[in-house]
Structure 1
Amino acid sequence: MRLFRPLVALAGVLTVLVPVASQQAAADTPAARPAPDLQPRGLADPVCVDTALRLTFDGPVQLGDSGQLQVHHADGTLVDNIDLADPGTYQRSIGGALSDYGEVHRWFYEPVVVDGRTVSVHLHYVLDPGQEYYVTMDEGFVRGRAGIEDPETWRFRTQEGPAPGARELTVDQAGGGDFCTVQGAVDFVPEDNTEDVRIDVAPGMYREIVYVPQTKPHLTVGGSGAGRTVIGYPNNSVLNGDAAMADVPARQSYCPRRVLPHPDRFNCWRAAFGVDADDFRLEDLTVHNLTPDGGSQAEAFRGNGDRIVLERVAVLSHQDSLRLQGRAFVTDSYVEGDVDFVWGTGGVFVQDSELRSLDAGYVTQIRNAEDGPGNVFVDTRLTRAPSVPEGSVLLGRIDSRFLGSQVVFIDSAMDDHIAPEGWGLTDAECATADRLRFWEHGSTDLAGDPVDVGDRLPCSRQLDAAEAERWRDPATLLDGWDPRRP
């Protein structure tokens, strides 16, 4: 169905009366172009309450500089408004996030995304279940394209959704699940949750910021395999970190549950997937921060709770890719980046995983408290992209504020991109780093031959076999918690 009768057809009828140039001018007007395919549309098949709105045109398009797209209840009540001329509509609450002062925090986000000939609109709120809606759009919202005025043109209905208290939820961006977004499923979980809840995510690319607040522990989010289920967003420090929060009042912007109160004021908001809840598991999917190389600090996954587990997960970004604070366990996973791409506090135990350097830089920066648990890596492989030079990457670095930090590599295989000195200090010297725990045991090259550790940083240390065996046990680092046991 077309929104307007094509004027080119009318011009064809009037060829005797209308000059050719006038016919072409008429054909180039917004109403002359084919109407877009609108999704969701129709009342027969109800859709998720967190559905995106999509317009697919006959060719590539661009957004206008102004104009509004509005969603209305069937009775005409305005539900949501995306205004291209109003920067205020480029913010939203996610996951009911509260600042350290208990006030609602709002993220900057992209409400409208253009991908070739498809325009996707991401609303500020989930819709009500079992309701009918219609959409209107100003002419010029999409540059050179007609608007939508008739309430009958773009109507749809939402599904009823899962029963309250459901402990197994499904997410499918194609519309075959309880929700279309991961965040929609997280939001459905009740506050102060005490039951195990599993969220299964179908294959696909889920372009969204996900946030799990402290009030929703005991969640498992599982995909259909890393590479098949991908959650990603171009979130970063410029969009939602220190730079973006500079003019936002502290009561709305200070991070909750801060481990390091001063450095962590704003940096909790810049991850593609952030968790402040305890007892959280992530399985069989990829988390990808889509921020390009050089686009500032940009965590793919940030875990800031107790007993967080990542299993068979790929974590992709450039700077600060994986940040874990509190007790965490990572197994059979893949992490890539260039600068401090594994960082945080501790204790964090990583086993049977690959850490891939995309450029010269640093694998870790662990800022644990004095004598507190840091990060232990066991049976890991440290690999590199083909362009990464030999000797250009350090296993870890730390600055003078955190000279009690702990990083341990045990029986790990390393390519030649790891520098002979292995470790680095910033604004500090080994003479003042007597509490530093940069430890290593059994390091080999990728062929299994021992690495020459004779040039390692003087205040690093090689563990003996008995010491290494003790640290191979996750319970040593994780204060008695062994996530390998049921």
Structure 2
Amino acid sequence: MVNSRVASTTAAVTAALVGAVVTATPPAAAAATLTVAADGTAQYRTVQAAINAAPANSSARTLITIKAGTYREVVRVPANKPAITLQGLGSTPAQTVLVFNNSATSHGTFNSASMFVDGRDFGATNLTISNDYVEKPGSEGNQAVALHLNADRAVFRNVRLLGDQDTFLVNEKTRAYMADSYVEGTVDFIFGGGTMVFERTTVHEKRTTGGPITAASTPATRKYGLLFYRCTVTATTNNTTQLGRPWRPAGQVLFRESTLTAAIRTAQPWIDMSTNSWKNARFSEYNNTGPGATKNSNRPQLPESQAADHTPQKYLAGNDGWNPR
């Protein structure tokens, strides 16, 4: 899997990353803007009403601005509504909240989300997506998804994703990028078989007893799964949080150049899931720092020779050279 034409030095890796930023193209300007305000001062009172009004099967971007407030509704962006951007108008993402409280108890995990995104080229900025179902320790059906993402080329900037178990489902159709954001949960709260890059994002385990952050189900035929690049991992208590476990045997996860706080269970940050052994999964770390970034035989490190092949742009490029950075 290593490309012999790629230099293996740290200098080459840095150059590749810088080049990716320099050549990134800005997002296309919105062709239409729809407005939402729960108090009736905009075109629509709900986010879903604005999505329903967006043109179907359009290549032009639709910007939906959302006045600060709390919007308790299940939001669905269907596959025939591509190129939609949701933008919160509050001064912080905490001021515009899209929230619901379904759970796996009555809906099943995949259908419990507060937001479903199937439309390609989706964007979200300056808002919060939350599932505020209260986890019930010791009972079945604790899973409650905040965001079910099943769309190619989705971008999230300055967004908060809040939940407990299974906060964020990155489904197999997904290729996505998240930057300068915040994701919190308890168990397997970033999971699925899609390809996604998290950059400069804080990932927080909020349960006092800890738990695994990721549960990747990357298909064995897919090279890239989840990349955490220059992120920060925190938790409520120290030495309780695992980096992940394999939902399917070939799950792929890399924590790269990230700050791992004392939250991480340093002796064993990867664990098994059912009959899937973490040792057979594609789990690794590269140049992480912080008290949780120790090295031992239970912590596979990405070889220097493969570093240039595991940059954010390599994960995101696909067959079309997509570069949201």
TM class by smaller structure:
0.7 to 0.9
Separation of aligned partners in 2, 1:235 and 1:182: 18
3-state DSSP class of the match of 1:425?
A: coil
Q: Counterpart amino acid of 2:230?
A: D
1:456 aligns with 2:298: yes
CA radius of gyration, larger in: 1
1:455 is displaced (CA, Å) by 4.5
Aligned to 2:74: 209
Q: 2:270 aligns with which of 406, 423, 432?
A: 423
Percent identity, aligned pairs only, is 30
Find 1:475's aligned residue among 308, 311, 314.
Answer: 314
The gaps in structure 2 that reach 5 residues or longer are: 1-30
Matched, 1:232 2:99: yes
Considering Cα pairs closer than 8 Å and 6+ residues apart, tell me whether 1 or 2 has the greater RCO: 2
Contact kept, 8 Å, 2:229 with 2:312, in 1: the verdict is no
Instruction: Tell me the TM-score normalized by structure 2.
Output: 0.81
Per the TM alignment, residue 341 of structure 1 is displaced from its structure 2 partner at its CA by 0.7
Could you tell me which amino acid in structure 1 is paired with residue 323 of structure 2? D
Q: Please tell me whether residue 330 in structure 1 is matched to residue 188 in structure 2.
A: no
Inter-partner Cα distance in structure 2 for 1:313 and 1:429: 32
**TM-fit CA distance, 1:466:** 4.5
Structure 1 segments, 4+ long, off by >4 Å, are none
Cα distance, 1:216 vs. partner? 0.6
C-alpha offsets along residues 205-235 of structure 1, whole Å, 9 cap, x if unaligned? 1111101111111100110231111110112
Is 1:287 the counterpart of 2:129? The answer is: yes
Structure 2 residue 66 is the aligned partner of structure 1 residue 193: no
Task: Give secondary structure in 1 for the equivalent of 2:127.
Answer: strand
Q: Which amino acid aligns with 1:281?
A: G
**Equivalent residues of 2:242, 2:270 under 8 A apart:** yes
Check the 8 A contact 1:355/1:381 in 2, yes or no.
yes
1:237-290 deviations in Å (ceiling 9; x for gaps): 12322xxxxxxxxxxxxxxxxxxxxxxxxx432100111111100111011101
* Residues 162-177 of structure 1 mapped to structure 2, 5 A cutoff: 167-177=32-42
Write the distance in 2 (CA, Å) between the matches of 1:237 and 1:378.
Answer: 31
- Decide whether the 8 Å contact of 1:237 with 1:270 is kept in 2: yes
Letter of the 2:111 partner, please give it. Answer: W
Q: What is the alpha-carbon distance in structure 1 between the residues aligned to residue 110 and residue 64 of structure 2?
A: 23
Q: TM-score, normalised by structure 1?
A: 0.55
Structure 1 runs not aligned, ≥5 long: 1-165, 242-266
Structure 1 vs Structure 2 CA RMSD:
1.9
Answer yes or no: is the 8 Å Cα contact 1:347–1:478 preserved in 2. Answer: no
C-alpha change, 1:477 and 1:193, in structure 2 (3 Å) is closer
Q: Which amino acid aligns with 1:296?
A: N
Distance in 2 (alpha carbons) for counterparts of 1:450 and 1:175 = 48
Q: Tell me the distance in 1 between the aligned counterparts of 2:214 and 2:258.
A: 14
Deviation at 1:355, TM superposition (A): 0.2
| Number of equivalences | 281
Q: Does 1:371 pair with 2:221?
A: yes
The yes-or-no answer on 1:353 pairing with 2:204 is no
- What residue in structure 1 maps to residue 86 of structure 2? 221
Paired residue secondary structure (2:306): helix
SS at match of 2:49: helix
CA distance in 2, matches of 1:464, 1:354: 25
Match for 1:352: what amino acid?
R
**CA separation of 1:233 and 1:213: change in aligned 2, threshold 3 A:** same
The question of whether the paired residues in 1 share the 8 Å contact of 2:316 and 2:323 is answered with no
Amino acid at match of 2:294: D
Cα distance, 1:429 vs structure 2: 6.6
